[in-house]
Homo-oligomer: A and B are copies of this chain.
Amino acid sequence: MNNEIHVESGESFSPEERATLRRIIGSRRDVRKFRSDPIPEESLWRMLEAAHAAPSVGFSQPWDFILIDSREIRQSIHDNFVAVNEREKNRVEPGQRRELYSSLKLEGILESPLNLAVTCCHAKEKEFVLGVGTMPQMISYSVCLAVQNLWLTARAEGIGVGWVSIVEPGPVKQLLGLPDHVELIAYLCIGYPQEFRSRPLLEEVGWKPREDLEKHLFRNRWGQKEKTEGF
C-alpha cells in the first residue's frame, strides 16, 4: 500500500473544513468499552499513515508500531494491568473517591479487536540527530505527536482508541521483546467503541472538572496575566 500522504504545496482549507477538524478534535475520546468486530485493514492503514506523517525532530521518524493480536501477550499485559491497578486503587483516599476509582473501567485490552504498542527508537541518538543536542526528550515527544495523529484519524474513521498507562513498562517491554534502546511510549487498545460519549469519562463521573482555558494562559512569563504590547 502507498504509505505516503501526498499533498500539493499551498493547500488551503475552507471554514467548513476547519470546523470539521474542530469536531474531530472535540469528539475524540479515550475509549475503554469496545465492540468486538474487527477494524478494516484500510482504516488501520490510514491511521498508521497519519502517525507516520507526524513531525519528528530532525526528521528522525523514531516511531515503531507493534500490532498485537496474540491472546497470550494481551492476557499477560492485562494481568499486569490488574496488579498495578489494585496497588493504584489503594493509593486513592479511602471512602467515596476510592469507590469511584474502583468503579471506573480503565482499559479494554482483551475486548478490543487490536492492541497497538507505539515505541520510540533511541538507537539513533548515537548518530547526529538534528535538534536533540540540548533537548534529547524531543525524540520521545515526536512519537507522542504521531500518536495524536493516529488518534484523530481513528476518530474520523469512527474507531476508538484507549491509551493504557496503568501497566509497568518493564514487564511490557519484556513481553513485546523491546531492546534496551527502545522505549514504550503508548500501549493502545483499538476498536469500534460501544459509544463515543460527549465528554471525557473522568469529567462525566465527577472525578475531575474541565479547567478554564484562561487559567492556563500566561503572557511573556509563567504566571503573568497582563497584556504588554499586544494580544
- With contacts A26-B5, A177-B223, A195-B10 known, is A61 near B138, CB below 8 A? no
Produce 1/0 per residue, A29-70, CB < 8 A to B.
Answer: 010000000100100101011101111011111011111111
Decide if B222 touches A119 in the complex (CB within 8 Å): yes
The complex places the Cα of A157 from the Cα of B19 at a distance, in Å, of 10
Chain copies in complex: 2
> By the criterion CB–CB under 8 Å, are B153 and A138 in contact?
no
Q: Given the known A-B contacts A67-B231, A230-B38, are A18 and B157 also in contact in the complex, defined by CB atoms under 8 Å?
A: yes
> Given A10-B195, A17-B156, A25-B5, are A213 and B134 neighbors across the interface (CB < 8 Å)?
no
Q: Output the nearest chain B residue to A6 by Cβ-Cβ distance.
A: B26
Interface residues of A in 182-231 (CB under 8 A from B): 182, 185-186, 195-198, 200, 202-203, 207-208, 210-214, 216-224, 228-231
User: Using Cβ atoms and an 8 Å threshold, which residues of chain B touch A218?
Assistant: 64-67
CB contacts (< 8 Å) of A41 on chain B: these are 231
Whether the pair A158, B12 counts as a contact (CB closer than 8 A) is yes
* A interface residues, tally (CB under 8 Å): 121
Which B-chain residue is minimally distant from A211 (CB atoms)? Answer: B61
Residues of B within 8 A of A38 (CB): 230
Q: How many angstroms between the C-alpha atoms of A179 and B224 in the bound complex? A: 12
* Residues B149 and A202 in contact, CB atoms below 8 Å apart: no
Contact B92 A134 (CB under 8 A): no
Q: Which of B12, B55, B222, B231 contacts A163 (CB 8 A)?
A: B55
In the complex, are the beta carbons of A23 and B11 less than 8 A apart? yes
Closest beta carbon of chain B to A174's beta carbon, Å: 10
Q: 26 pairs across A/B with beta carbons < 8 Å? A: A6-B26, A13-B24, A13-B156, A17-B20, A21-B24, A21-B50, A22-B50, A25-B149, A26-B53, A28-B55, A48-B213, A48-B217, A52-B216, A55-B148, A60-B208, A64-B218, A65-B216, A69-B219, A70-B228, A73-B220, A91-B133, A101-B130, A134-B168, A138-B165, A140-B141, A145-B147
